């Protein structure tokens, strides 16, 4: 064989060897790529499972919070207090429990005062849909501007009639969306078990509820001899919301409540409440307006209705109309630890009282201050026939009084 033929044979053998090795390498590369794709898919699936477990772990738990609050007060109707420069007192210590285990929600708040202790609310909940939640236990009753028809520490006069931030034992369904707030509730009785509740005192409660009727010869603040408890009350609230941009919102709503009164043996009267409200936000400004009316009728003659709260009894008319108007301005600041101020004026009028001639009027001008975990209300209250300002809603002949109040607390 000559050299030329030998070179051709060797070249052919090398080419065949190289092609075969390339095919094997290509097959190995294709297999490796497929294996990498499989591992990446399994890793992504595992990552999603881990993220889901971490999310569940973050959502599954109960958070404990609370607050400690103190209060400074000086009034024009207590000469001895004013002469010593006012009083600084302990206000409350409270604990909050909020969270969920699995799909069941828990929310509860308990408050300790110097003179009593009481629940604000305590309920279990479940989210039936993205916008709908059911609650059972001691729920907040839906009515009017929510969550509060006020900005100050003193709420509005509705609070002292049991028509703002009031609780009750029953069930509530609520919808919250960008366009609608809807609430439907059935309150079996008040948070202390109604007329036959086994409690230390029917006045040891966070908010005002009917506990009796005022009979002839009894004083405004006497414990009632004829008990009465709220019973089987149906409630609904609907509020339509319009959002024009991130800073402007209008809300218009209506609230209705109808129920009975029971003396522990049988029904003894009816209760009807109606509310119309409006809320408008524009930039840093907030505006509230509300009209509310209530009508309580009993099978026996009365000189008023007895409410209980904060360890004392008070008297209110069987029916009245309540007008409220609030304005507030929100101001972000950077003053040491202070990050936010809210300036406000809250006005309340209780009029058309059955059996009474004089109106109840309360005006609160004030400011709230946010500084880290501290939150402070600074309020100047001017009022006539108003509880906690030397008056009572179920009374005539009261004078106009002034109370300066600073309530400050640390929230955790």
Calpha distance 322→359 (Å, rounded): 10
Chain segment 42-95, per-residue pLDDT in tens = 656 656 655 655 555 457 899 999 999 999 999 999 999 999 999 999 999 999
pTM for this predicted structure: 0.85
Strand residue runs (E) in 102-208: 104-113, 117-127, 132-140, 167-176, 180-189
Contact 191, 138 (CB under 8 A): yes
Report how far residue 152's alpha carbon sits from residue 150's, in angstroms, rounded to the nearest whole number: 6
Distance CA 281, CA 287 (A): 6
Domain residue spans in the chain? 1-59, 63-411
pLDDT score at 48: 64
pLDDT lower than 50: segments of the chain: 1-26, 28, 57
pLDDT at residue 18 in the model:
40
What pLDDT does 35 receive?
59
Q: Which CATH superfamily is domain 63-411 in?
A: Porin (2.40.160.10)
The total number of residues shown for the chain amounts to: 412
Identify which of 404, 393, 300 has the alpha carbon closest to the alpha carbon of residue 350. 393
Q: How far apart are CA 42 and CA 39, in angstroms?
A: 5
Closest CA to 147 of 251, 256, 274: 251
Looking at residue 52, its pLDDT comes to 56
């Amino acid at each position: 064989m000559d050299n030329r033929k030998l070179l051709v044979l060797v070249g052919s053998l090398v080419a065949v060897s190289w092609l075969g090795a390339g095919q094997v390498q290509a097959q190995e590369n294709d297999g490796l790529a497929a294996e990498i794709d499989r591992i990446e898919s399994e890793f992504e699936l595992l990552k999603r499972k881990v993220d889901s477990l971490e999310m569940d772990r973050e959502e599954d738990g109960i958070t404990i919070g609370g607050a400690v609050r103190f209060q400074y007060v000086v009034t024009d109707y207590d000469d001895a207090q004013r002469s010593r420069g006012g009083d600084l007192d302990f206000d409350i210590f409270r604990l909050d429990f909020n969270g969920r285990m699995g799909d069941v929600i828990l929310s509860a708040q308990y408050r300790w005062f110097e003179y009593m202790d009481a629940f604000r609310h305590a309920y279990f909940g479940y989210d039936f849909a993205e916008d709908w939640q059911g609650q059972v236990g001691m729920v907040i009753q839906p009515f009017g501007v929510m969550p509060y028809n006020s900005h100050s520490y003193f709420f509005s006069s509705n609070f002292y009639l049991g028509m703002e931030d009031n609780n009750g034992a029953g069930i509530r369904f609520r919808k919250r969306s960008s366009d609608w707030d809807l609430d439907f509730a059935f309150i079996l009785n008040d948070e202390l078990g109604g007329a036959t509740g086994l409690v230390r005192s029917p006045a040891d409660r966070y908010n005002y509820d009917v506990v009796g009727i005022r009979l002839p010869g009894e004083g405004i603040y006497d414990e009632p001899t004829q008990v009465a408890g709220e019973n089987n009350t149906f409630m609904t609230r609907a509020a339509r919301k319009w959002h024009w941009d991130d800073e402007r919102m209008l809300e218009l709503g209506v609230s209705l409540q109808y129920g009975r009164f029971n003396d522990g043996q049988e029904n003894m009267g009816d209760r009807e409440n109606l509310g119309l409200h409006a809320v408008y936000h524009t930039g840093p400004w907030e505006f509230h307006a509300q009209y509310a009316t209530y009508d309580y009728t009993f099978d026996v003659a009365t000189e008023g209705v007895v409410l209980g709260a904060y360890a004392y009894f008070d008297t209110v008319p069987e029916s009245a109309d309540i007008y409220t108007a609030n304005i507030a301005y929100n101001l972000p600041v950077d003053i040491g630890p202070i990050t936010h101020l809210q300036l406000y004026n809250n006005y309340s009028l209780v009029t058309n009282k059955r059996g009474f001639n004089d109106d109840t009027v309360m005006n609160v001008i004030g400011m709230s201050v946010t500084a880290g975990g501290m939150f402070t209300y600074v309020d100047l209250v001017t009022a006539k026939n108003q509880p906690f300002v030397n008056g009572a809603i179920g009374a005539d002949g009261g004078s106009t009084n002034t109370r300066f109040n600073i309530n400050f607390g640390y929230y955790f």
